[in-house]
Amino acid sequence: AQSVSQHNHHVILSEAASLELGCNYSYGGTVNLFWYVQYPGQHLQLLLKYFSGDPLVKGIKGFEAEFIKSKFSFNLRKPSVQWSDTAEYFCAVNAQNGNKLVFGAGTILRVKS
Amino acid sequence: DVKVTQSSRYLVKRTGEKVFLECVQDMDHENMFWYRQDPGLGLRLIYFSYDVKMKEKGDIPEGYSVSREKKERFSLILESASTNQTSMYLCASSFPLYGYTFGSGTRLTVV
């Protein structure tokens, strides 16, 4: 069965600090990878996705993620966070031949202004 | 843009009641999903459906059932609500290579 592990449940950063949120998955086959964000009181939104091709994926709002197949990782990065990035971030995986999307437990990011 | 609409934003129900959560999508997606979201546990899949009248159990189906009579509508049913089913429920739909679109969620409290 697939599983997704997010390394930190809570992260607190000051504005302009760099961000990296870890995500590892366990699945031996070919996967699609996603990062979703949930701002306070809002619904889940897609930040970025990886299906194939260039392993460095750029998403909305200056976020990017790198797929490292050998490490089963898909870490999310942003060079300089803003107060408005305060949210919960979810990594998710599905097998390319499957329908189910499996989520990590989420990382709550708080950015101090 | 795909829209996934969940009929209620907040619900309060009593223990033992039968509860229906409704979800409608407007883009003819074949796949629809019900998740529950709990702090520290992320989103856990309850049931999904890949076609009308077709359903498959997710990771935590106990105490739930689903109904998909029409392609655009996917209902989650709590047969006899219990306090441990107090949670945020999220519906999603998907199309291959497009990704998943989520509704705004229904926060259910069972008292």
- Name the average pLDDT for chain B: 92
Query: What average pLDDT does the segment A65-75 reach?
Result: 95
Adjacent-strand bridge partners of B26: none
- Helix, strand, coil shares of chain A, percent, nearest 5, are 10, 55, 40
Q: Is B41 an interface residue toward A (CB < 8 Å)?
A: yes
Contact list in A for residue B33 (CB cut-off 8 A) is 100-101
Strand partners for A23: A6
Confidence check: pLDDT of B18 > 70: yes
pLDDT digits (tens, 9 = 90+) for A42-56: 889 999 999 989 999
pLDDT at B107: 96
Q: Is the pLDDT of residue B29 over 90?
A: no
A97 touches chain B (CB under 8 A): no
Q: What mean pLDDT is predicted for residues B53-61?
A: 92
Q: Which of B88, B100, B101, B104 to mutate to test the interface with A (most CBs of A within 10 A)?
A: B100
Q: What is the DSSP letter of A90?
A: E
Are A101 and B42 in contact (CB < 8 Å)?
no
Percent of chain B at pLDDT > 70 equals 95
Please indicate if any CB of chain B lies within 8 Å of the CB of A44: yes
Fill in the DSSP letter of residue B109.
Answer: E
Answer whether A58's CB lies under 8 Å from A64's CB.
yes
Per the structure block, which two tokens stand in for B66?
Answer: 């689903």
A-chain residues near B92 (CB < 8 A)? 101
Q: Is B42 on the interface with A (CB under 8 A)?
A: yes
CB spacing of B50 vs A51 below 8 angstroms: no
Candidate from A49, A92, A105 with C-beta closest to B40: A105
Give pLDDT tens digits for B74-93. 999 999 999 999 999 999 99
Are B94 and A100 contacting, i.e. CB atoms less than 8 angstroms apart? Answer: no
Predicted pLDDT at A2: 77
The whole-number average pLDDT for the span B27-35 is 91
- pLDDT per position as a tens digit, A9-30: 999 999 999 999 999 999 878 8
CB distance A49–B99 less than 8 Å? Answer: yes
What was the pLDDT predicted at B98?
A: 67
